[in-house]
Copies of this chain bind each other. A is one copy, B any other.
Amino acid sequence: MQTAHPSGVSATIREVGLRDGLQSVATIVSTAEKCIWIDAAYAAGVREIEVGSMVPARLLPQLADTEAVLQHALRLPGLVASVLVPNLKGAERALAAGAHAMIVPLSASHAHSLANLRKSPDEVVAEVARIRAARDASGVSALIEGGVGTAFGCTLQGEVAEAEVLRLLQALLDAGADRVSLADTVGYADPASVSRLFDKALHLVGDRLRYAHFHDTRGMGLANAYAAWQTGMRGFDACLGGIGGCPHAPGASGNVATEDLAYMLERMGADTGIQTPALLQLRQQLQHWLPGETLHGSLWQAGVIDGGAKPAPLAATA
């Protein structure tokens, strides 16, 4: 049973489990299983999915089938299928494959940027300019999104200055990104810092700031999402089953769980278009695809409130 939407406000949840989730998991999920995942998420109402990453297969064998998965996703009417592209080469693959959007990751933390991307933040900005030129030359309409990670601090560098994050958001847009997003890559954000930074970022770039990406490393994922919601953010990244994380945050839980976030927003009266009980069913399938992996999130334990749609064999996913 869906909740009513007294606020009449829509929210968009982008499923990033197939990219941010699976890249941090050792198990390789088959292309067929990924396609079932995408179909089921689509059937549950999800309309934006980051399906993979255009990186060399030797670096992330889990995502080596990104082109094939993308081709499948592109068949679903109304689904926005995006991919991560670390550089121009990845963007050229994404353009050739027909992705709707390309997410270029940038770490606001200089130290994290060098460790993770082997480039400084400004070198990534320069790469975005090259990607924009390639996109414009190709005649393809794929959107370019600059994803600013470690926006709230990082394990390697510690503090990341708000001014630096804001500078990089503007630099990405100036270099030709169509939109930007902000990510708490390693779980350093709290509701107060989220409120401050998103307020300033929205003031600076308006609705070109499209997605908020939170990890649940210290249990504040939903609280941070609510704080971002309060500033006016309406787009959120999330991973089914709360999978994902960062190689630099060992032992920690992953992204905000899609099912938990969708449920919170629906309970708040927002219209996500998502049927949470269907996501809880899909979460059970995900556990079968990832045997031995600990899934996260909370909703699966108690189930949704109305409709009594607590999926039956929950113990199997514990």
Contacts and interface: CB of A to CB of B under 8 A. Distances in A.
A220 B219 CA distance: 10
Given A192-B269, A226-B227, A227-B226, A264 B220 contact: yes
Interface extent on A, as a size class?
35 or more
Contacts of A190: 264, 267-268
A15 interface: no
Given A298-B253, A301-B253, A260 B225 contact: no
A85 interface: no
Interface string A225-268: 11101100000000000000000010111000100100110011
B219 A298 contact: yes
A208 to B, nearest CB: 26
A216 interface: yes
Total identical chains: 2
Interface in A159-196: 187-188, 190-193
B191 A264 contact: yes
A233 B7 CA distance: 24
A153 interface: yes
Contacts of A76: none
Contact of A263 (B218, B249, B260, B269): B218
Nearest to A252: B302
A299 interface: yes
Nearest to A7: B192
Interface in A205-219: 216-219
Nearest to A260: B219
Contacts of A219: 222, 257, 260, 264, 297-299
A267 B193 contact: yes
Contact of A305 (B153, B230, B314): B153
